[in-house]
Amino acid sequence: MDELINDFIAETREMLEALSGEIVAWEAAPGDRGRLDEIFRFVHTVKGNSGFFDLPRIGALSHAAEDALASVRSGARTADPALVSAVLAVIDRIGELVEALDSGEDVASEDDAALIAGLQPNADAVLETAAAHHTNPRAARSIRLPVELLDRMMSGISDLVLARNDLARRIREQGAGGEVEGAFERASAIIGELRDEITRTRMQRIDTLFAPLPRMVRDLAGQTGKQVALEIDGADVDIDREMIEMIRDPLTHIVRNAIDHGIETPGQRRRAGKSETGTLGVCARQAGNQILIEICDDGRGIDGAKLVRRAVGAGILSAERADRLTESERTSLVFEAGLSTASEVTDISGRGVGMDVVRANIERIGGLVEIESRKGEGVRLVLRVPLTLTIIPALTVGAGERTYALPRSAIEEIVRVKASNVRVETVGGASVATVRGRRLPLVDLVQLLGVRAGDDGGRSLVILRPAGADLYALSVERIHDHEELVVKPAAPAVMATGLYAGTTIADDGRPVLLLDPPGIAARAGLALGRSESVQAESAVEPRRPGGQAMLFRALSGGRMLAPLAAVQRIHNVPAQAIKRGGGRLHVAVGDELLPLAGCGDEAPDRAISLLRLSDGAREVAYGFDEVLDIVDLPDGLIPAAAAGEIAGVVLVAGEQAELLDLHTLLAAHGAATDAVRPRPLCALPAGDPFMDAIMRPLAEAAGCRVVATGSAESAEAALVIAADEMPAEVPPGARVVRLAAPDQAGDSGAIDRYDREALLAALEGRKRATRKRRNG
Amino acid sequence: MAELFLAVRLGGDRLALRAAEVDSVVEIDALTPVPGAAAHVVGLSALRSRVLTVIDCLRSVDPSRSVAKGAREAVMAVVDGHPYALLVDAVEDVLEASGEPQPAGALTGGWRRAGRAVIEAEGDLLLLLDVEALIAGPAREAA
């Protein structure tokens, strides 16, 4: 609606401007029928629009003017100077009201009636001066331009930038006098400024992308019988208009999916211990030259196992490979064509068509889609898209015979290998660059691309900070130049390599590939931020170790390695924390229970240390004796004879060490993590403001699932919280926490309701009791 | 009016593309290779201010073969907004088909993927190739 109003304001302003000449001419010659018709058309249009927008004052004014003018047109009246003045006064007032509509100010309304009365035949020419003191339209004026014109300007300025780059190169090569160079510098700077300005004309608030969402969410929620609260953040981020169009469909699709498949019905949510209303968050923010759009829901999450089954069923994945997928790789299967976890086809999000198309669309514009799902807790999707499709500052570098471009935004610094404070060495098969004492993983561009190295053998290092990954050094053969490049999205066949972000045309007219720093890091096995596609994963077998590892002494006495990235924490636990249950060992760490590996079948009889290993979704504790060292994971893994907890053997400092196979460990033990960590059910009296507003969040923060006392589910509750008196029914085995008014606690066993420490302790205590009861 | 087709020569065969799917016929000069891309994507080429992704049509159909060395004639097609140059051994002429395209017989290997139908034109039978399948190459089947 706002947009329509703005259109109305702009249109009315335009008409008024065009009309001002007509009005003056009509004043000079009131008998001129052509002028009269123009003015009549204006008031007629305004009257129609004011009805549509419900603007009664403008409506009344334009209606009165239309009536008066109609009688002139029909010949019933003549256009005498009094009528002309009155009509002009009305038109001026309409102009004022429209300006006020735009600025949000008020215009005194008392003399509207007088203006309308002035239109009557024989009215006194009371308001001749009205036109004189109307306020001028605000100084900052806006005009409307066809979008195509902006696009043509943009493409014109892009070509101009290319021509400038070409000229710059020629001036550099052939030399020119200082005066010419000075003049060129000036022109160049102006072109730069102009480009920035024109780029800005194409920017739009991302608001326009988000504006239809509330209505859509409301309608979808209604159709599916769900309750969804939409939270939008970052609507004031600016983004290229063209990008908005490219993101619109993928975003719509993701939101539909989230409501249709992600968020559960109120009943399901209640049973899962969540609030009945699901939350859908859409948030945009700018990070460097990227826009991040995050869509997260608190629904049921993506069923990775189901996806895997379908993928295997559809022949996309071999059963053997399916077993080795990490949780995030399983989730990423949603991007494969033809897979959908919804067992029913719905008319809202259909089947299968969808996430693969979403990813293709986002990647086509040089963006990335990241997905993260937690079963039962929801899905978080992040779309990373470039700020603009058009011009980016870049560094051109050489590898082999070719030139490649790197986005300058990702470049931290450039150093020469020959410099005294730079050292390049190979540690355990992996290259490492040490720059002023800082050690960085090193990727050789020539090797990575598999191109033939040039003859000179010289190298420079470009230190890159890719979005979503750690710093690394990229070794290139030559550093060419800083250039402004007009980047176009590359064809899917080129994007599929994962190495490039787009294509551009160099000064000499040859195509140049823009390298994608996060993609290169991923290909080189460095980045954590981007999950490799399933196909890429299978190509590298066995998986080449990368990064660092923790060397430790196992309980059996052997030397073992665990990839450092998977090590969350180290704990020391006493022997009694370890118990056997359900056919396997578990260890209690704080108030959590974890599956325990590394101890064989027997619970150890002494205190041990634990490595807490996780891939982000599953967790397992691995018992060990002592930490020996942190080392770079060496090359040359000799795979184990049979698949198991040991991936293979490597040499570390001349001695053998066994590398843990996290896939197997987490698959064998980690799967149980969710099952052994139920959230204890806690019943609270409903309708009590203290309980709802204070106690409930406290209980939820302590890890409980909260239900209303007396509800069907509360019969299962392990913990019942009550106000002063004992609740009528207490489920068997449940413990009761009674709350008392301040200073009334006494020795009745009730807890002062404002004694936070005691409340928390009570909640925690019951929680542990629950765990023991269920697992012991 | 009968549908128009563009006859091309590829690996010794005479084949056809739908004229409606063809943007223009271009000559490819210099190629910028794309390291890491599928084998049938032979590189990029600039045409005025556009970057064409150049596809070796023969390699796309049969990974063990490729268009003749020095072949420079290509058919330009725009798919999903991306311009492609489909490199062939030679571009011959535009044909008018007599009758409707007929289902192709038993094709083998990559021809089955790229071949769409058989058309009859000027007394000759030509296999009609699918532009999108040529661009996708063998990767799609392997996936």
Average pLDDT, chain A: 76
**Which tokens sit at A129?**
């001066």
**Cα–Cα distances in Å, from A213 out to A250, A350, A463?**
13, 19, 41
Best mutation target, B51, B53, B60, to test chain A (most A CBs within 10 A): B51
In the DSSP assignment, the letter for residue A96 is: H
- Cα(A727)–Cα(A688) distance, rounded to whole angstroms? 14
C-beta separation of A676 from A587 below 8 A: no
Within an 8 Å CB–CB cutoff, is residue A677 touching chain B?
A: no
> pLDDT tens digits for A52-64?
777 888 888 888 8
Please name which of A438, A507, A526, A433 lies closest in space to residue A476, comparing C-alpha atoms.
Answer: A433
- Cα(A469)–Cα(A342) distance, rounded to whole angstroms? 33
C-beta separation of A26 from A35 below 8 A: yes
Please name which of B97, B99, B67, B86 lies closest in space to residue B131, comparing C-alpha atoms.
Answer: B86
- Cα(A377)–Cα(A217) distance, rounded to whole angstroms? 20
Within an 8 Å CB–CB cutoff, is residue A496 touching chain B?
A: yes
A591 pLDDT more than 80 = no
Place of tokens 């007088």: A114
Tell me the mean pLDDT in the region A270-280.
Answer: 90
Burial of A575 (C-beta count, 10 Å sphere; 0-12/13-18/19+): exposed
A269 min Cα distance to partner chain B (Å): 38
B2 min Cα distance to partner chain A (Å): 33
Q: What is the DSSP string of A585-605?
A: EEEEETTEEEEEESSTTSPPS
**Cα–Cα distances in Å, from A81 out to A28, A67, A89?**
9, 17, 12
> pLDDT tens digits for B95-114?
888 878 888 777 777 788 88
Please name which of A578, A554, A568 lies closest in space to residue A660, comparing C-alpha atoms.
Answer: A554
B74 pLDDT more than 50 = yes
Question: What is the pLDDT at residue A127?
Answer: 45
Contact criterion met (CB < 8 Å) for B33 and A402: yes
B77 pLDDT more than 90 = yes
Question: What is the pLDDT at residue A620?
Answer: 85
Question: What is the pLDDT at residue A418?
Answer: 76
Number of alpha carbons in the 13 Å side-chain half-sphere of residue A240: 21
Question: What is the pLDDT at residue A321?
Answer: 77
Tell me the mean pLDDT in the region A499-527.
Answer: 81
Contact criterion met (CB < 8 Å) for B51 and A535: no
C-beta separation of B60 from B88 below 8 A: no
Question: What is the pLDDT at residue A580?
Answer: 80
Instruction: Look at residue A554 and give its three-state secondary structure.
Output: strand
A767 pLDDT more than 50 = no
Place of tokens 């609507």: A235
Rg, C-alpha atoms of chain A:
35
Tell me the mean pLDDT in the region A352-357.
Answer: 64
A361 pLDDT more than 70 = yes
Tell me the mean pLDDT in the region B21-28.
Answer: 90
Contact criterion met (CB < 8 Å) for A505 and B49: yes
A331 pLDDT more than 50 = yes
Q: How does residue A771 score in pLDDT terms, banded at 50, 70 and 90?
A: very low
Q: How does residue B86 score in pLDDT terms, banded at 50, 70 and 90?
A: very high
Q: Percent of chain A at pLDDT above 90?
A: 3
Of all residues in chain A, the one with the smallest CA distance to B44 is A511
Beta bridge partners of residue A657, listed in sequence order: A650
Interface of B with A in 73-132 (CB under 8 A): 80-82, 84
A344 pLDDT more than 70 = no
Please name which of A733, A750, A689, A681 lies closest in space to residue A711, comparing C-alpha atoms.
Answer: A681
Q: How does residue A745 score in pLDDT terms, banded at 50, 70 and 90?
A: low
Contact criterion met (CB < 8 Å) for A493 and B46: no
Which stretch of A229-233, A366-370, B116-120 has the lowest confidence by average pLDDT? Answer: A366-370
Q: How does residue A747 score in pLDDT terms, banded at 50, 70 and 90?
A: low
Q: How does residue B137 score in pLDDT terms, banded at 50, 70 and 90?
A: confident
Question: What is the pLDDT at residue A774?
Answer: 41
A216 pLDDT more than 90 = no
Within an 8 Å CB–CB cutoff, is residue A490 touching chain B?
A: yes
Contact criterion met (CB < 8 Å) for A496 and B38: yes
Question: What is the pLDDT at residue A345?
Answer: 44
C-beta separation of A737 from A766 below 8 A: yes
Residue ranges in B1-143 assigned as alpha helix (H): 57-61, 109-114, 131-136, 139-142
Contact criterion met (CB < 8 Å) for B82 and A449: no
> pLDDT tens digits for A539-577?
323 333 356 777 888 888 888 888 877 777 777 788 888
Of all residues in chain A, the one with the smallest CA distance to B33 is A402
The shortest CB-CB distance from A499 to any of B33, B36, B53 is to B36
Question: What is the pLDDT at residue A727?
Answer: 61
| Residues whose CB is less than 8 angstroms from the CB of residue A171 and which lie 6 or more positions away in sequence, other chains included | A180, A181, A184
Tell me the mean pLDDT in the region A159-175.
Answer: 80
Bond into A542 cis (ω within 30): yes
A352 min Cα distance to partner chain B (Å): 17
Tell me the mean pLDDT in the region A261-284.
Answer: 90
Tell me the mean pLDDT in the region A305-327.
Answer: 79
C-beta separation of A528 from A619 below 8 A: no
> pLDDT tens digits for A642-679?
777 888 888 877 778 888 888 778 777 764 444 344 56
B125 pLDDT more than 90 = no
Strand pairing category for A646-652 and A638-639: antiparallel
List CB contacts (< 8 A) between B38 and chain A. Answer: 493, 496
Q: How does residue A718 score in pLDDT terms, banded at 50, 70 and 90?
A: confident
> pLDDT tens digits for B111-121?
888 888 888 88
List CB contacts (< 8 A) between B136 and chain A. Answer: 493
More confident residue, A228 or A736: A228
**The Cα angle at residue A663 between residues A660 and A667, in degrees rounded to 5:** 120
Place of tokens 């943007």: B23
Question: What is the pLDDT at residue B55?
Answer: 93
More confident residue, A274 or A671: A274
Interface pTM, i.e. ipTM:
0.88
C-beta separation of A59 from A27 below 8 A: no
Question: What is the pLDDT at residue A703?
Answer: 66
C-beta separation of A48 from A11 below 8 A: no
A183 pLDDT more than 80 = yes
A48 pLDDT more than 50 = yes
C-beta separation of A520 from A468 below 8 A: no
List CB contacts (< 8 A) between A316 and chain B. Answer: 143
Instruction: Look at residue A32 and give its three-state secondary structure.
Output: coil
Which stretch of A58-67, A284-293, A515-524 has the lowest confidence by average pLDDT? Answer: A284-293
List CB contacts (< 8 A) between A535 and chain B. Answer: 143
A402 pLDDT more than 50 = yes
C-beta separation of A573 from A598 below 8 A: no
Torsion of CA A417, A419, A420, A421, to 10 degrees: -70
Instruction: Look at residue A430 and give its three-state secondary structure.
Output: strand
Q: How does residue B41 score in pLDDT terms, banded at 50, 70 and 90?
A: very high
